[in-house]
């Protein structure tokens, strides 16, 4: 045990003396959260839209009023025929056109069904996507109110409420993603680099010719990074709590436990990389290309998994980050307990055990 | 026997690094593995320190088999790799303490063993190892390899890249360590260091040429050696090379070591030949064979 503590102490010396890495380690999460929170946003505000209303009845007017009342849209133009749609889009200012069909109210009452066409300018697909989402949710809201009015008469109360993220703040969506990316980066990349550094500098040779057992070396490498990653997770959560006023709905204990599970998962991946890579550079490239890109692209952090082609959707299942994002979104935004996320948790535990087993099997007790 | 190597062979792909090597080292012996770069010295060290598996043959260190009992060997030997392999971002003292700790001991416990060496670097104990000079790095590495009182010490080219004064000091330290009953297995490309070993093995291209005491190896030189000098060294080498009675001619410092193909060779013949080739200040003297002479002769 004394040996093990001595080893961990040495690891801390390495980490604390490498000022540059230390700065990156702690600066990066802060910069990333602020960047994603403030700069990179797919929120929309005061988007210019146009209305094409074929029926001009009470219901459509009500809906139009509702849309213009929201701060997301401002109605800049009212057009009266289909031909004008392309014209307004071509001018480029108008990002969406709402096209109400004829006899809207009548259809709604007799058929229980009326249609609004939402036309968006998809040259900027992200905005277009968001606009259609926002409009749809406003319409759904209106429809709910309408139905509720019918069941409990006289109680039409226009109240916009969007589930989980009432203000549609994108930072709420990004925090779980950024946290996942950072934990993955700190844990996997840093451990794989720190193990391969010993190989590169030749110190692994001496460590091998010593009574230290392989698992002691590996655990000794991992423990300091668990600590660092936990600190990072706490920093990110504090930032989102106090800078972005993002509440954590669920239990902090559960959030912490799940985060540690994910950190261990990422660390075991890092160890796996280091058993294959022979230089720090290879380890870094492997971590960046092999872990970071899938985490950013395939985990549902930026691009919704449901809109990916099927092969990528299937592929996304083997990415631990996907499951972790589901878990922390659940805890942070929806406030769910373990009974809702036990499946994802089990998947993460399974993956972790798998990676650790392979790493131990692949760990070389000799130089070749 | 402290180290027994039996018919060890090792290849990297097509390249045969070690070819049927056998040797024995007695307890408390200072055994030198002498050979040029690429002779296979490091490969043999790595096999004996259980870092590599041989393709053929067996070996044991301190009675432990290098394949089966690799864990016991790792507990009992000290190893100093050819490349400086300490933590550059740790101070001298931290490095030493770290190695003491992982071997389950303390600096204090075995301070006697390393005192002679460590006192020289102790003034710099708070300096980071990466900022030490070459000689001091080697002393620190030796201290770290010794701190757990190993029974066998493996030193792979410990003096490469170290200045002559530090080299001399380093060998004096090894001599002192030997008295503590530590078996020392050391490799070096420097022939002059070979003389300081109890026993040496000359190795080149993965094959052992000869194993014996330095004296016996020198005495085994089959020919008379003459050291030759003239005012023009470069021309001298060329002329000796074309001389019909030359068996070998290698530069040694300011002299050329010359041997003849004739067993009844007389130095006067050579002087006449050199005079005929317009050399001045000619000097031809009989001399004793050095280990390098033997090495060159054997590897011819």
Averaged in consecutive runs of 10 residues, what is the pLDDT profile of chain A (368 residues)? Answer: 91 90 84 75 75 85 85 86 81 81 79 78 70 79 72 36 47 79 87 91 91 87 91 89 83 93 94 89 89 85 79 91 91 86 95 91 82
Co-location of B276 and B179 in the same domain:
no
Return the percentage of chain B with pLDDT > 70, whole number: 100
Co-location of B8 and B152 in the same domain:
yes
Co-location of B15 and B132 in the same domain:
yes
Residues B167-204: pLDDT tens digits?
888 899 899 999 989 999 999 999 889 999 999 999 99
Q: What residues does CATH 3.40.1710.10 cover in chain A?
A: 47-151
Query: Are A212 and B102 inside 8 Å of each other by CB?
Result: yes
Co-location of B8 and B92 in the same domain:
yes
Q: Mind telling me how many Å the CA of A30 is from chain B's nearest CA?
A: 27
Co-location of B95 and B241 in the same domain:
no
Among the three residues B179, B198, B219, which one is the final residue of a domain in this structure? B219
What distances in angstroms separate CA A271 from CA A15, A185, A220, A357, one per listed residue? 17, 13, 12, 11
B85 vs A5, A201, A366: nearest CB? A201
Q: Which tokens is B34 given?
A: 């002498």
Residues B14-68: pLDDT tens digits?
999 999 999 999 999 999 999 999 899 999 999 999 999 999 999 999 999 999 9
Which chain B residue is nearest to residue A201, measuring alpha carbons? B85
Give alpha helix (H) positions in chain B: 41-48, 70-76, 92-102, 111-121, 134-146, 164-179, 191-194, 214-219, 233-242, 267-276, 291-298
Candidates B71, B84, B87, B152, partner chain A, best to mutate (most A CBs within 10 A) = B87
Co-location of B169 and B142 in the same domain:
yes
We report the CATH number of the domain holding residue B209 as 3.40.50.300
Q: Mind telling me how many Å the CA of A95 is from chain B's nearest CA?
A: 58
**Where in the sequence is the domain holding B141, given as residue range(s)?**
3-219
Q: Which of residues 66-125 of B touch A (CB under 8 A)?
A: 70-71, 74-75, 77, 79, 81, 83-90, 94, 97-99, 101-104
Check pLDDT > 90 for residue B228: yes
Nearest residue to A359 (alpha-carbon basis) of A274, A253, A293: A274
For residue A239, what pLDDT is reported?
A: 86
Cβ atoms of A192 and A283 closer than 8 Å: yes
Check pLDDT > 70 for residue B281: yes
Among the three residues B200, B219, B238, which one is the final residue of a domain in this structure? B219
CA A182 to chain centroid: 11
Query: Are B74 and A17 inside 8 Å of each other by CB?
Result: no
Q: In angstroms, rounded to a whole number, what is the distance separating the alpha carbons of residues B59 and B47?
A: 8
What distances in angstroms separate CA B262 from CA A247, A283, B51, B228, B247, one per listed residue? 99, 63, 49, 17, 8
Partners of residue B102 in chain A, C-beta under 8 Å = 3, 6-7, 207, 210-212
- A14 interfaces chain B, CB cutoff of 8 Å: yes
Taking residue A115's Cβ as centre, other Cβ atoms within 10 Å add up to 11
Cβ atoms of B140 and B129 closer than 8 Å: yes
Thinking of the domain A47-151, which architecture would CATH place it in?
3-Layer(aba) Sandwich (3.40)
Structural domain count, chain B: 2
We report the CATH number of the domain holding residue B278 as 3.30.70
Unique residue bearing structure tokens 């659940």: A330
Co-location of B104 and B250 in the same domain:
no
For residue A124, what pLDDT is reported?
A: 64
Partners of residue A207 in chain B, C-beta under 8 Å = 102
β-strand partners of B9: B56
- What's the longest Cα–Cα distance across chain A? 86
- A367 interfaces chain B, CB cutoff of 8 Å: yes
Q: In degrees, to the nearest 5, what angle opens at C-alpha B289 toward C-alphas B35 and B241?
A: 85
For residue B134, what pLDDT is reported?
A: 85
Q: Mind telling me how many Å the CA of A12 is from chain B's nearest CA?
A: 11
Unique residue bearing structure tokens 């102790």: B122
Co-location of B16 and B39 in the same domain:
yes
Partners of residue A368 in chain B, C-beta under 8 Å = 52-53
Going by their DSSP bridges, the two strands B246-252 and B255-260 should be labelled as antiparallel
Query: Are A202 and B87 inside 8 Å of each other by CB?
Result: no
Among the three residues B175, B204, B219, which one is the final residue of a domain in this structure? B219
Co-location of B128 and B268 in the same domain:
no
Co-location of B90 and B159 in the same domain:
yes
Residues A285-300: pLDDT tens digits?
998 888 888 888 888 8
Co-location of B155 and B248 in the same domain:
no
Partners of residue A366 in chain B, C-beta under 8 Å = 50-53
- ipTM for the predicted complex comes to 0.86
Residues B83-127: pLDDT tens digits?
888 999 999 999 999 999 999 999 999 998 898 889 989 999 999
Q: In angstroms, rounded to a whole number, what is the distance separating the alpha carbons of residues B4 and A266?
A: 45
Going by their DSSP bridges, the two strands B199-204 and B30-34 should be labelled as parallel
A13 vs B90, B101, B104: nearest CB? B90
Co-location of B172 and B247 in the same domain:
no
């Amino acid at each position: 045990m004394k040996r093990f503590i001595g080893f961990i102490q040495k690891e801390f010396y390495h980490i604390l003396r490498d000022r540059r890495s230390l700065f990156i380690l702690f600066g990066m999460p802060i910069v990333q959260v602020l960047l994603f929170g403030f700069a990179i946003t797919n929120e929309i505000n005061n988007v210019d839209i146009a209305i094409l209303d074929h029926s001009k009845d009470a219901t459509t007017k009500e809906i139009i009023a509702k849309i213009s009342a929201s701060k997301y849209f401002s109605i800049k133009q009212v057009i009266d025929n289909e031909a004008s749609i392309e014209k307004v889009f071509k001018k480029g200012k108008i990002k969406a056109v709402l096209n109400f069909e004829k006899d809207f109210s009548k259809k709604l009452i007799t058929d229980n069904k009326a249609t609004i066409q939402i036309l968006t300018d998809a040259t900027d697909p992200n905005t277009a996507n968001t606009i259609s989402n926002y409009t749809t949710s406003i319409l759904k809201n209106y429809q709910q109110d309408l139905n509720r009015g019918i069941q409990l008469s006289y109680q039409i109360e226009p109240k916009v409420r969007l589930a989980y993220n009432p203000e549609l703040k994108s930072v709420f969506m990004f925090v779980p993603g950024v946290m996942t990316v950072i934990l993955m980066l700190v844990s996997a990349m840093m451990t794989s680099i720190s193990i391969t550094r010993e190989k590169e500098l030749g110190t692994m040779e001496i460590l091998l010719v010593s009574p230290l057992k392989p698992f002691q070396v590996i655990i000794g490498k991992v423990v300091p990074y668990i600590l660092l990653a936990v600190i990072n997770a706490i920093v990110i959560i504090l930032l989102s709590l106090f800078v972005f006023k993002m509440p954590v709905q669920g239990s902090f204990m559960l959030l912490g436990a799940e985060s540690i599970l994910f950190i261990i998962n990422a660390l075991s991946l890092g160890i796996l990389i280091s058993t294959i890579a022979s230089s720090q550079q290879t380890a870094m490239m492997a971590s960046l290309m092999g872990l970071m890109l899938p985490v950013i692209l395939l985990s549902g952090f930026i691009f919704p998994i449901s809109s990916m082609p099927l092969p990528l959707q299937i592929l996304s299942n083997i990415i631990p980050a996907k499951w972790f994002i589901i878990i922390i979104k659940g805890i942070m935004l929806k406030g769910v307990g373990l009974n809702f996320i036990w499946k994802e948790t089990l998947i993460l535990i399974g993956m972790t055990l798998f990676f650790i087993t392979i790493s131990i099997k692949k760990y070389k007790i000799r130089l070749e | 026997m402290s180290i027994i190597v039996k018919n060890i062979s090792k290849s990297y792909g097509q390249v045969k690094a070690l070819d049927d090597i056998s040797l024995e080292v007695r307890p408390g012996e200072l055994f030198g593995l002498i050979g040029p770069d690429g002779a296979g010295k490091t490969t043999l060290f790595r096999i004996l320190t259980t870092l590599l598996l041989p393709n053929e043959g067996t070996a044991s260190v301190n009675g432990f088999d290098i394949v089966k009992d690799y864990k016991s060997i790792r507990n009992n030997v000290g190893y100093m790799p050819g490349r400086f392999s300490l933590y550059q971002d740790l101070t001298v003292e931290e490095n030493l303490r770290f190695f003491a700790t992982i071997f389950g001991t303390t600096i204090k416990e075995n301070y006697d063993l390393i005192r002679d060496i460590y006192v020289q670097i102790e003034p710099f104990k708070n300096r980071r190892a990466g900022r030490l000079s070459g000689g001091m790095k080697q002393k620190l590495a030796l201290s770290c390899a010794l701190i757990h009182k190993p029974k066998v010490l493996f030193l792979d080219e410990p003096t490469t890249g170290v200045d002559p004064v530090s080299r001399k000091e380093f060998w004096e330290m090894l001599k002192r360590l030997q008295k503590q009953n530590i078996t020392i297995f050391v490799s070096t490309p420097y022939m002059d260091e070979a003389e300081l070993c109890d026993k040496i093995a000359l190795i080149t291209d993965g094959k052992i040429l000869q194993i014996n005491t330095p004296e016996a190896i020198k005495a085994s030189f089959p020919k008379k050696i003459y050291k030759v000098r003239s005012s023009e060294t470069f021309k001298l080498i060329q002329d000796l090379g074309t001389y019909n009675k030359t068996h070998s001619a290698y530069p040694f410092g300011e002299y050329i070591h010359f041997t003849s193909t004739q067993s009844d060779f007389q130095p006067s013949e050579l002087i006449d030949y050199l005079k005929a080739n317009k050399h001045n200040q000619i000097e031809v003297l009989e001399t004793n064979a050095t280990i390098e002479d033997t090495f060159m002769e054997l590897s011819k």
